[in-house]
Amino acid sequence: MTTISNVVVTKMRIDGGAGLKVLSVETIDMLQVPYDQLLPTRSFPGVARGSTTPPGQVRLPVTFGKRGNCRTKLIDFDVAHIGLPHNAILGYPALTKFMAVTRPGYIVIKMPGSGDIVTMVGDMKGVV
């Protein structure tokens, strides 16, 4: 299970080859983060056609696992109109914070948790 700001997120793209940490505008609305809390950020290429200029950046807690065995870190997300079927994209900078190991061939992510190893299994699209 993955939560962002204590809200369960079901469509998160884990991309160990990308340097992105992106939340969709729809997810920010779902998390009820006020737009005045967004900090200025720069544009980035690679998610949509051409370059994406996000409305801002926000720092939110991300938790992998369940109560009793989880790991939580604060992640700085760029908020963007990404037009993808994902609520969020987490790339290698975020995975490094979690000390996560990805196994793309098996679509598995493992990281140390509060009690044991936290194991997340995705579907064929790499969504956790």
> What is the phi/psi pair of residue 17, to 5°?
-95, -5
Task: Please measure the distance between the N-terminal and C-terminal CA atoms of the chain and give it in whole angstroms.
Answer: 8
CATH entry, 2-121, from 1.10.150.300, 2.40.70.10, 3.40.50.300, 2.30.33.40: 2.40.70.10
Give me the residue spans of the domains in the chain: 2-121
Burial of 97 (0-12, 13-18, 19+ CB in 10 A): middle
Digit-coded pLDDT (tens) for 29-82: 989 999 898 998 887 665 656 666 778 899 999 999 988 999 999 999 988 887
pTM equals 0.82
